[in-house]
Amino acid sequence: MKKALYLLATLSDRDFEWLLQVGRAKQISAGTVLIREGEPTDALYIVVEGNLAVLVEALDDEEIARLSTGEVVGEMSFVDSRRPSATVKAIEDSLVWAIPRSQLAAKLNQDVAFASHFYQAIAAFLSDRLRSTVSRLGYHKDPQLPELEEQDLNPQVSGNLELAKTRLDWLLNQLRSRHK
């Protein structure tokens, strides 16, 4: 499941409007580094269009993941305030929605309901990512364990999944039409 759907399913209409107001579209040319391992980041990103590679220096810059439309990037460093543990680089010309770190941090400090929804979504998709990683590494009884299905989601997320899909589609269409 696209990680942005977790976020968009838990936010209220007011919170979604706030994301639209403070976020900015950012074009990334193929080969450009969006996030560099070990260097501070200034935003949280949602991939609108394109493909990004996640590379790890300790593995000789081996690609460990590929991110596409609807994925969230930079959330780990935002949550734990540590420098990124991987580099994220555009494989092709891409478009992301950048939410400035400083504005997001201020919103989380001022708006308890927004903070609750935001962190619930982040926790859910980081948990999903960890379960998937553990499964792929073979530490689970069933190494073929699939990514969480809609019926396995937190009820608050699954109940708003259609709304989240609508919000994501709307955001993607708006940005694509502006950048064509």
SS3 label, residue 121: helix
> In this predicted structure, what is the pLDDT of residue 150?
46
Q: What is the pLDDT of residues 145-162, one digit of tens each?
A: 444 444 455 555 566 677
Q: Domain residues of the chain, as ranges?
A: 3-178
CATH 2.60.120.10 fits 3-178, yes or no: yes
Sign of CA dihedral 72, 74, 75, 76: positive
Over the chain (180 residues), what is each successive 10-residue block's mean pLDDT?
77 89 95 96 93 92 89 89 93 96 96 92 82 69 48 56 76 71
CA distance 98 to 35: 12
Backbone angles phi, psi at 50, to 5 degrees: 110, -170
Q: Are 52 and 89 in contact (CB under 8 A)?
A: yes
> In this predicted structure, what is the pLDDT of residue 157?
58
Q: Are 51 and 41 in contact (CB under 8 A)?
A: no
CA distance 53 to 92: 10
CA distance 142 to 129: 16
Token pair for residue 58? 């300790």
Alpha-carbon distances of 88 from 22, 48, 102, 112, 129, rounded to whole Å: 22, 15, 20, 31, 17
> In this predicted structure, what is the pLDDT of residue 151?
45
